[in-house]
Structure 1
Amino acid sequence: MKTALVLGGTRFFGKELVRSLLAKGVNVTIATRGNSGNPFGDKVNQLIADRYDIDSLKSACEGLHFDVVYDQIGYSSEDINIAYEALKDKVGKYVFTSTMAVYEYGNNLNEEEFNPYTYPLKEVNSKDVSYGEGKKLAETALFAKTGLPAVAVRIPIVQGEEDYTERLLFHVKKIKSEEEIGMPNLEARLNFISAREAGEFLAWIGSQAFTGPVNACANGDIQLTELVNLIESKTGKSPILTNSITDENRSPYGIKETWTMDNTKATDLGYEFSNLKDWLPSLIDYYNNII
């Protein structure tokens, strides 16, 4: 891979993807609407385009060709169809950032738990379906495009210092302020991936011959009880937990059942994932220190 186009690479783990590509010596182009600035300056090429508008994206990429396109901001089959029509003769491979939300609850879920090759295909706008259903249909639309090598990277909740969703920060704040956190099942388990590793894996898989869906997550998982106890150990405050859920106390991790993925396929391909419990405590330290 010598050239790459990144659709949505200006915040959170999209930035880590661009950094990882640059570190590999890839000539990177980012396509944005220009609203969030360019954090990379002249290290990247920048196209001003609306990823959700065929004519805008096609015009911006006129006369260009990329070895790989990374789609960080596709949320539906309509989004995939727009990008495909605009880029089909301009890219050699399509890497789509998908999600663990294509799976129902379960433990150590592998890629066979959702098959985009047999899922009923329909074109929908992301506003008309749930996040998980939109990603299912996006994958289904992508793999229906014959002749275009494609990968769908399924990731769990991403953790990092620049997480604009503030999901982990929510828990640190609530515990430190001695406020209630609403969780329906404290025995449920989750796994995560760091923003750095998400970016590094995406960059890595783009240079592999592999096509199809693949899970990417740190090794290991954590029970929600363990997580709040870990935050307690860092803040010195005891969590106040309740299963009476309100809009104010609802945990962003408030799942009803265990929801974890298996990363064996990616590991067998040759990628070495980090261990969740090697970096999660230091991230909680970071959040504790900035509050």
Structure 2
Amino acid sequence: MRKAREVLVIGGNRYFGKRLIARLLAAGDRVTVLNRGSSAAPPGVVHLVADRNDEKSLTAALGARTFDVVVDQVCYTPRQARIARRVFAGRTRRYVLTSTVEVYEYEDSVAPVRESDVDPLSVAVNLELPWDDPEFLENHYGEGKRQAEAVLAADPAFPYTAVRVAHVLGGDDDFTGRMAHYASRIRAGEPIAVPMVNHPATYIHVEEIADFLFWAVGQDFTGPVNAASHGLLTTEELCAEIAAHIPHGRTVFGRVEVGEVSPFAFTRAYGMDNSRATRLGFRFTHTRQWLPKAVAETLGKDGG
């Protein structure tokens, strides 16, 4: 019988984070959830309240606790990563950072990008940037994650992995509104703005990324790892599936040379190579297996 693990999840009370917590509890793990207290923790967990941006607050909330694994769902900046590295050094056997495909924002390749295309050890860290400014952080989301990874990687004794998550789809609790944006325009027959050259991207279903993170908790590999379902999706393919769920929906694309484009419309290649995770033993599904289900979940059977 497998020994129960002590797992700390920082943030993660919604979307795939709450699904990860459910999987950990179902497996018999002892789960602690740490957040600012603005939302209740799910039943069955120990709930700690602290501001993860405040090292003294975080240290006080943790007390003498140690963990087998820490899953950090809400580390967005190098400042937060520096605090986490200091606080959790010696407290955990493994630290799992949920990172993002956005770390590849400066890479543009016809071939899917591999983990080695962004080596955290080669990323410059600037702690003086206005990381506390919400607008700056929103506009530099990928860079914040790049630099957070770099801070963790700088200490070779710190046992971290950075899960670079593809664009997540599915679930009736998708809070992003991105699929709803397409549905509203298709329903109204309004143009969907895409670049003149619109590249496909990698995606993953909300249940699959929860599965992946649960799997990663039990592994011992370190460094970055890409998490994406097999198969790229174009904006056109995504919209075709959405339109199939909307009676009398009409998809119209408007090609733009400059200006804002729709969500999931990309001016550059945005695909991730998932072969490292595959070699390590995770079995991904194909986007075509779950795309109809993802659209139905998010929009409802009548196109929401």
Structure 1 position 155 matched with structure 2 position 161: no
Supply the AA of the counterpart residue of 1:35: S
Q: Distance in 2 between matches of 1:96 and 1:136?
A: 11
Question: What is the one-letter code of the residue matched to 2:292?
Answer: P
Q: Percent identity?
A: 34
Partner Cα separation in structure 1 for residue 294 and residue 88 of structure 2: 38
- Tell me if 1:108 matches 2:118: no
Residue 16 of structure 2: aligned partner: 13
Task: Report the Cα distance in structure 2 between the residues aligned to 1:10 and 1:185, rounded to whole angstroms.
Answer: 38
Conserved in 2, the CA contact under 8 Å of 1:100 and 1:261?
Answer: yes
Deviation at 1:101, TM superposition (A): 0.9
Match of 1:117 in 2: 121
String of CA shifts for 1:26-64, please: whole Å, max 9, x gaps: 1110001111222x22x1111011111111110000110
Q: Does 1:146 align with 2:156?
A: yes
1:229 counterpart letter in structure 2 = A
Aligned residue number for residue 48 of structure 2 = 47
Q: Which amino acid aligns with 1:105?
A: D
SS of structure 2 residue aligned to 1:183: strand
- Partner Cα distance (1:153, 1:232) in 2: 32
Q: Give 1:205's match in structure 2, choosing from 209, 216, 223.
A: 216
Given that 1:182 and 1:244 are in contact with CA atoms closer than 8 Å, whether structure 2 keeps it comes out as yes
CA RMSD of aligned residues (A): 2.0
Does the CA-based 8 Å contact 2:188-2:250 persist in structure 1?
no
The AA in structure 2 aligned to 1:117 is: L
Do structure 1's residue 196 and structure 2's residue 207 form an aligned pair? Answer: yes
Deviations 1:265-291 (A, max 9, x none): 000100001211111112222315362
Counterpart for residue 4 of structure 1:
7
| Contact map agreement 1:149 1:211 (CA 8 A) in 2 | yes
Structure 1 CA distance, aligned partners of 2:57 and 2:85? 13
SS for the counterpart of 2:122 is coil
Code of the aligned partner of 2:157: G
Who is 1:132 aligned against?
142
Q: 1:33 to 1:245 in 2, by over 3 A?
A: farther
| Length-normalised TM-score, structure 2 | 0.89
Match of 2:227?
A: 216
Query: How much has 1:16 moved relative to structure 2?
Result: 1.5
**Is the 2:205–2:294 contact (alpha carbons within 8 Å) kept by the matching residues of 1?**
no
CA contact (8 A) 2:70 2:96 kept: yes
Give the Cα separation in 1 of the matches to 2:245 and 2:11.
34
What stretches of structure 2 of length at least 5 have no aligned partner? none
Structure 1 gaps, min length 5: none
Shift of 1:245: 8.1
TM-score computed with the length of structure 1 as normaliser: 0.92
Aligned to 2:34: 31
Note if contact 2:198-2:265 (Cα within 8 Å) is conserved in structure 1: no
Bigger shift: residues 253-262 or 264-273: 253-262
